[in-house]
Amino acid sequence: MSVSESLSPRSSDIEPVIPTTPLVSFFERLQETALNTFGETNFDPKLYVDLSLKFDLPTTEDAFVKLPKSANGSLSAEDLKGFIEKYFESAGNDMVYCEPVDFVPEPEGFLPKVKNPEVRAWALEVHALWKSLSRKVSDQVQKRPELHSMLPLPEPVMIPGSRFREIYYWDSYWVIRGLLASKMYETAKGIVTNLIYFIEEYGYVLNGGRAYYTNRSQPPLLSAMIYEIYNKTDDMQLVKKSLPALLKEYCFWNSDIHKVIIQDSQSCNHTLNRYYAMWNKPRPEATTKDKKFASKISNVSEKQQFYRELASAAESGWDFSSRWMRNPSDFSTLATTTILPVDLNTFILKMELDIAFLAKVTGDNSTAMSFIEASQSRLNAIKSVFWNEEAGQWLDYWLNDSTCKGCQTWEACNQKQSVFASNFIPLWVESFYSDTSLVEKVMKSFQGSGLLCAYGIATSLMNSGEQWDFPNGWAPLQHMIVEGLARSGSKEARSVAEDIAMRWIRTNYVAYKKTGKMHEKYNVEKCGEFGGGGKYAPQTGFGWSNGVVLAFLEEFGWPQDQMIDC
Ligand SMILES: OC[C@H]1O[C@H](O[C@H]2O[C@H](CO)[C@@H](O)[C@H](O)[C@H]2O)[C@H](O)[C@@H](O)[C@@H]1O
């Protein structure tokens, strides 16, 4: 029996939906009323699901239904504003600022390779941003959780910033990489403790720390966080505490809904994974928008499926992208659950390798062996299903349908021929470095792909208007590709990596000087310009961008007389 078969719970429910709380349902009603009353201008639906109640839910609902309505059922903006002020705490009040225990303005041994004084001064400013992003869940949430969508957590968190006022799963990996460069090991461990707490409570790491994020996860990088922290701190206690949680998380990703079997041309079966949210309704943080996107779908089960595709795209972290659409100009053709994604399977390969490593250091050789075997099977699967020799890239694989009963036969035409940054993510994992001709081929393919722009790596080649597409560049994608090239063992690849890191640092620096802020995403065609598109206004702060700048400066440094302006 394989490691995933022996660990995986067999769910009989193939279309699972995790129920939401009465509070979140009420917030959704409030959100819809707010849109109808205040109008579209500057409307952010997430604001309404991030409020806290001042009184209990029945009292608040009672006051809500008693609000005076005109003949056509509408409320006055003044009445609704007054109601919100009287009955709710503002969004963000459920977290309090908290000074990180291990923050010092200039840590000893901070970024030793950064010699240029201007770059060093800026890096210290970015380092200081940890103070503005550090929060602790308020005591009010711990005392009366039923009044809040914020979930209680044992340790402080780093929020991404702006409208993202809670912890996020995959963002935390790059936050932690930055914290390690900032020598803030205790803060990094606290973040991991929170994510482990999610696994203990829910069986997996939630998309984020809110009651409306309990129906899906995000790209699984917890093992990678623990691996990085252990390498810097040798903290065996942390490893021992995390292993049971990692095994549980591994089961979650290998549950029936996430698992797909593909039979290759040699009749060999491969198990791979996909994103699959346990939700078939509008995402509460975007109910008003999701209903609008679904408005032209009249069939009830097709509508439910569309909502599942939306939530599954959110689970992928790439919400939203032409990558998940059958027809990139029609958002209602989202088909996330019909795709086996290259990056998700790379993350699970990394999880297998990390668990094997962490089990070995605790002396648990039998777990280590099983996970080495699991990683070898996945390597074969990645090669057989995703690798495309002609392109020199790993391509997402489109399933024949999303039901995934039994196994599907591999067909070359099901590899998606479009170029996405995710096609190069496997190079982030060391398993591929021993094949020097493969590294060379992938590097050449990347250089000729069109993704490498003047100020970083574009997410795709298509300008669909979605945020996970051209011309946006995202910190996590820059980091994984740069780190993969830099560690691959090829000298040339390392110098390509350094060049990309410098382009990215430059544009982050110039944007910071212009706006005073670090941004969630950047426009890789224009120096110092932040990204746009998508379904919400561009955000600042910003956890993963700060983390990647610090990690790049740690790895490559910045020479004394190298200019940083564009
Ligand atoms: O509210 C819309 C979506 O917001 C999140 O996604 C985006 O921000 C996250 C935090 O930086 C990031 O992890 C994700 O990659 C972004 O696309 C949230 O994760 C989504 O679930 C949510 O629908």
State residue 20 phi and psi, 5-degree precision. Answer: -90, 175
The number of the ligand 1 atom at minimal distance from the alpha carbon of 160 is 11
Ligand 1 centroid – CA 207 distance (Å): 8
Structure tokens at 257: 């809904």
At 521-564, the pLDDT tens digits run 999 999 999 999 999 988 999 999 999 999 999 999 999 999 99
Question: Is 4 a residue whose pLDDT tops 80?
Answer: no
- Angle (deg, nearest 10), helices 475-487 and 543-556: 20
Ligand 1 mutation pick, 48, 210, 319, 320, max ligand atoms within 8 A of CB: 319
Ligand 1 centroid – CA 368 distance (Å): 33
The number of the ligand 1 atom at minimal distance from the alpha carbon of 543 is 11
Q: Would you call 85 a catalytic residue per the annotation?
A: no
Distances (CA, A) of 277 to 119, 257, 399: 42, 9, 17
Structure tokens at 56: 């209990």
Count of CB atoms within 10 A of residue 55's CB? 13
Q: How far apart are CA 142 and CA 52, in angstroms?
A: 13
The number of the ligand 1 atom at minimal distance from the alpha carbon of 544 is 11
Locus of tokens 């020799």: 389
Q: Which residues contact 100 (CB under 8 A, 6 or more apart)?
A: 130, 131, 134, 156, 184, 186, 187
Nearest CA owner, ligand 1 atom 21: 314
DSSP 269: E
Distances (CA, A) of 328 to 32, 93, 307, 312, 508: 28, 39, 17, 17, 29
Contact 251, 276 (CB under 8 A): no
Active-site residue (options: 28, 94, 171, 520): 520
Q: How far apart are CA 473 and CA 525, in angstroms?
A: 9
Mean pLDDT, rounded, of the chain: 95
pLDDT band at 6 (very low <50, low <70, confident <90, very high): very low
Q: How far apart are CA 550 and CA 183, in angstroms?
A: 11
The number of the ligand 1 atom at minimal distance from the alpha carbon of 171 is 13
The number of the ligand 1 atom at minimal distance from the alpha carbon of 169 is 13
What is the arithmetic mean of pLDDT over 284-298?
Answer: 97
Q: Which residues contact 275 (CB under 8 A, 6 or more apart)?
A: 216, 258, 312, 313, 315, 316, 336, 337, 341, 344
The residues facing 48 across adjacent strands are none
pLDDT at 14: 60
At 17-51, the pLDDT tens digits run 999 999 999 999 999 999 999 999 999 999 999 99
Nearest CA owner, ligand 1 atom 20: 314
Nearest CA owner, ligand 1 atom 11: 160
pLDDT at 136: 98
Structure tokens at 439: 């590294």
Q: Which residues contact 115 (CB under 8 A, 6 or more apart)?
A: 557, 558, 559, 560
Ligand 1 centroid – CA 175 distance (Å): 15
pLDDT at 317: 98
Nearest CA owner, ligand 1 atom 18: 314
The number of the ligand 1 atom at minimal distance from the alpha carbon of 467 is 17
Question: Is 153 a residue whose pLDDT tops 70?
Answer: yes
The residues facing 420 across adjacent strands are 460
Label residue 440 exposed, middle or buried (CB < 10 Å: 0-12, 13-18, 19+): middle
The complex scores an ipTM of: 0.95
At 323-339, the pLDDT tens digits run 999 999 999 999 999 99
pLDDT band at 7 (very low <50, low <70, confident <90, very high): very low
What is the arithmetic mean of pLDDT over 145-150?
Answer: 98
Nearest CA owner, ligand 1 atom 16: 317
Q: How far apart are CA 459 and CA 480, in angstroms?
A: 12
Ligand 1 centroid – CA 171 distance (Å): 9
Ligand 1 centroid – CA 319 distance (Å): 7
Nearest CA owner, ligand 1 atom 23: 314
Alpha helices by DSSP H, 329-471: 342-362, 365-381, 436-447
Among 303, 338, 335, 340, which residue's Cα sits nearest to residue 322? 335
Active-site residue (options: 315, 319, 483, 529): 319
Ligand 1 centroid – CA 316 distance (Å): 9
Q: How far apart are CA 271 and CA 269, in angstroms?
A: 7
Among 79, 193, 89, which residue's Cα sits nearest to residue 136? 193
The number of the ligand 1 atom at minimal distance from the alpha carbon of 283 is 23
Ligand 1 mutation pick, 164, 213, 287, 344, max ligand atoms within 8 A of CB: 164
Ligand 1 mutation pick, 48, 162, 168, max ligand atoms within 8 A of CB: 168
Count of CB atoms within 10 A of residue 231's CB? 10
Question: Is 314 a residue whose pLDDT tops 70?
Answer: yes
Q: Would you call 319 a catalytic residue per the annotation?
A: yes
Ligand 1 centroid – CA 392 distance (Å): 30
Pocket around ligand 1 at a 6 A CB cut-off: 46, 160, 164, 168, 170-171, 207-208, 283, 285-286, 314, 317, 319, 536
Ligand 1 centroid – CA 164 distance (Å): 8
At 247-287, the pLDDT tens digits run 999 999 999 899 999 999 899 999 999 999 999 999 999 99
Q: How far apart are CA 139 and CA 157, in angstroms?
A: 14
DSSP 421: G
Ligand 1 centroid – CA 272 distance (Å): 24
Nearest CA owner, ligand 1 atom 22: 314
Count of alpha carbons within 13 angstroms of residue 35, beta-carbon side = 19
Among 398, 393, 402, which residue's Cα sits nearest to residue 423? 393
Q: How far apart are CA 122 and CA 543, in angstroms?
A: 16
Ligand 1 centroid – CA 13 distance (Å): 27
Q: How far apart are CA 347 and CA 349, in angstroms?
A: 5
Nearest CA owner, ligand 1 atom 1: 285
The number of the ligand 1 atom at minimal distance from the alpha carbon of 213 is 21
State residue 128 phi and psi, 5-degree precision. Answer: -70, -20
Locus of tokens 């006055």: 76
* Percent of the residues in the chain that have a pLDDT greater than 90, as a whole number: 93
Question: Is 11 a residue whose pLDDT tops 90?
Answer: no
The CA-CA-CA angle for residues 411, 352, 348, to 5°, reads 45
